[in-house]
Each structure stands twice: as C-alpha cells, then as structure tokens.
Amino acid sequence: MILQEKFRQLELEGSALLATNFYNYETLLGVLKAASAMDMPIILQTSPGTIHYLGVEMAAAMARAGLKAHGVEGWLHLDHAESYDMIKECLDAGYDSVMIDASEKSFEENVDITSAVTELAKEYNANVEAELGYVAKLGQSHQKEGFTKPGEASEFVKKTGVDALAVAIGSAHGFYKKEPKLDLELLKTIDDAVDCALVLHGGSGIPADQLQEGIRRGIRKINVATEIKDIFMATLKNEISSTDNIDLRQVFPPATEQVNRLVQKKLAIIKQA
Ligand code: 13P
C-alpha cells in the first residue's frame, strides 16, 4: 500500500505512524527490531545529512533490505529536504515519500517550491510532505513563535496538493528545556480546515498523553530522532569506555538494543492512542 493510501486508512482508524530517523546500520536495525516485535508499520526517514553520510543508493537499499529481512511494513521518507535536486535523486532511488521544507521562506515561495515538488512526485506516485509555520530546528530558538494558521494551512494544501503537512503547534526539534505543551485546540482547528495528513515534528520528549491526544486530533505521523541518537550514543560511549574489545560486532549491539527498546515504547504510545 502506498503511503498516501495508508494515511487515508489511518484517518478512518484515528491512528498514526511513527517516523524514525536512522543514521547507520545499527540505528536502522534497532528500529526494525522494534517494529517487528510490536508488529507495527513504520516510516524510516533519512535527513539530507544522512544522505550525505550514507549515499542515497546505500540508504535506500539498506532500508528496503531491512524491511524485507525483518518482515516489517514500512516506507522510506526523505526528511527536511530543501533541494529539489536531492528530492529527485531520492525519488529516482526509490523513496516512497519526500519532505520539501520551505517553511522559512515566504508563504508564496513555500507554495511555489512545494507545488514544483508535488508535480514531480506525481511521476513517481510518491507522498509529499511540506511544512507551514515555525518548528525550531536544532540550535534555533524555542522562544520564537510562529504557529501554523488554519486559514493559511487550508489555502496551502489546496494550492500545493500536498499529502501531508507538518504543523507548528508548540513542538521543536531536539530536547526541550521545559516540558512542551502542544496547542491541541489549534491542532483540531487545522485538522478541520485541511484535507491531508498532519505531521508532528520534534516528537522527542513530548509526553505520551499529549502525543495520544494529538493523534485523536488529527496527527497521522510522529517524527522521532533526537531520543534515538541520544540513547544510541550514550550506550555506545558507556560500552566503549568499559571495554577494550575491538570486535565492534560485540560493542554496537547494546546500543542497538536500547534503540529497539525506545522505539517499542514510542510504538506502544501510538498503539494505545
Ligand atoms: P526530534 O529530533 O526532536 O525527535 O524531531 C525529529 C523530527 O521532527 C525529524 O524531522
């Protein structure tokens, strides 16, 4: 089933997909083990940074092979792309879904750039996600507010034909200094105004009850990245500092296992929504 169809199914069921970023074989493996253990579908995403690191062919092949080997239903998604060329490269390599992030440009520019991507994606029958509003990226201020406006969201979705829209409702990428509080009223109003799947970026550190209420109010995709990197690296550092073992096939698995546990917890939150 293509991702656009899956989103329509989730809309009827009132459920969502977890979208996890992976960075290397070990983080991918942790995610796949979790999805397999929970028997739940998953979106595997790579940022442009991961594409630069792994190469697009390797990223796509690893994800595909991993889904098959672990018997997991899943989709491969390009997260936060700003370049049309990279989007085309990923679609050519077999990505199911792409995000064009022109959220820091003007509304009109965002519409134009996103529309070019939706046109391109039609040739591949691929899913397109865009972003409207200010969701702080890593290192950007959490103070600045630029929540998505329902009227603009409606106009944006009609003009661009996107399948999924990332909304700014109080989440941010990276860890939070204080507990985030999503504007769930606004989320419901946006959901009533648009006819597409809504996406929550910055899923790390958002309490389970808010994620679940978010799903009830229209979120169909929840992105989690920072917590994966954090648990993986913290565990790995611990392993490395407590052993002289150079057999990396024995040093990496505890870190992969922690990713597995973390992702299972996130999937359980979605299952129980
Ligand atoms: P976190 O890194 O805050 O989990 O956000 C992930 C994300 O939204 C990726 O696009």
- Confidence at residue 141, expressed as pLDDT on a 0 to 100 scale: 82
- Cα 243 to ligand 1 centroid, rounded to whole Å: 32
- Confidence at residue 23, expressed as pLDDT on a 0 to 100 scale: 98
- CA distance readout (Å), 127 to 4, 41, 114, 124, 273: 6, 16, 12, 9, 24
Q: Which DSSP string corresponds to 20-31?
A: EE--SHHHHHHH
Q: What is the pLDDT of residues 101-117, one digit of tens each?
A: 999 999 999 999 999 99
Domains and CATH numbers, the chain: 3-271 (3.20.20.70)
Nearest-atom index, ligand 1, CA of 226 = 2
- Confidence at residue 162, expressed as pLDDT on a 0 to 100 scale: 98
Nearest-atom index, ligand 1, CA of 201 = 8
Nearest-atom index, ligand 1, CA of 204 = 4
More confident site: 144 or 219: 219
- Cα 175 to ligand 1 centroid, rounded to whole Å: 9
Low-confidence winner among 6-10, 175-179, 216-220, 266-270 (lowest mean pLDDT): 175-179
Pocket test for ligand 1, best of 103, 224, 265, 266 (most atoms within 8 A of CB): 224
Name the residue with the closest Cα to ligand 1, atom 8. Answer: 201
Identify the three-state secondary structure at position 78: strand
With a threshold of 0.85, does the pTM exceed it?
Answer: yes
Pocket test for ligand 1, best of 97, 204, 211, 221 (most atoms within 8 A of CB): 204
CA distance 192 to 34: 33
- Cα 166 to ligand 1 centroid, rounded to whole Å: 11
Question: What band does 138 get if pLDDT is binned at 50, 70 and 90?
Answer: confident
- Cα 169 to ligand 1 centroid, rounded to whole Å: 14
Q: What is the pLDDT of residues 61-71, one digit of tens each?
A: 999 999 999 99
Question: What band does 207 get if pLDDT is binned at 50, 70 and 90?
Answer: very high
Indicate the average pLDDT of the chain.
97
Average pLDDT on 221-236 reads 98
- Confidence at residue 199, expressed as pLDDT on a 0 to 100 scale: 98
- Confidence at residue 225, expressed as pLDDT on a 0 to 100 scale: 98
> 130 has which bridge partners?
100, 165
Question: What band does 142 get if pLDDT is binned at 50, 70 and 90?
Answer: confident
Residue 117 CB contacts under 8 Å (≥ 6 apart), including other chains: 84, 87, 98, 100, 128, 130
Residues with CB under 6 A from ligand 1: 21, 79-80, 173-174, 201-204, 223-226
The number of residues in the chain equals 273
- What amino acid positions are annotated as catalytic residues? 79
Nearest-atom index, ligand 1, CA of 174 = 3
Name the residue with the closest Cα to ligand 1, atom 1. Answer: 202
- Confidence at residue 229, expressed as pLDDT on a 0 to 100 scale: 98
Question: What band does 137 get if pLDDT is binned at 50, 70 and 90?
Answer: confident
Backbone angles phi, psi at 22, to 5 degrees: -125, 160
Average pLDDT on 163-186 reads 95
- Cα 4 to ligand 1 centroid, rounded to whole Å: 21
- Confidence at residue 81, expressed as pLDDT on a 0 to 100 scale: 98
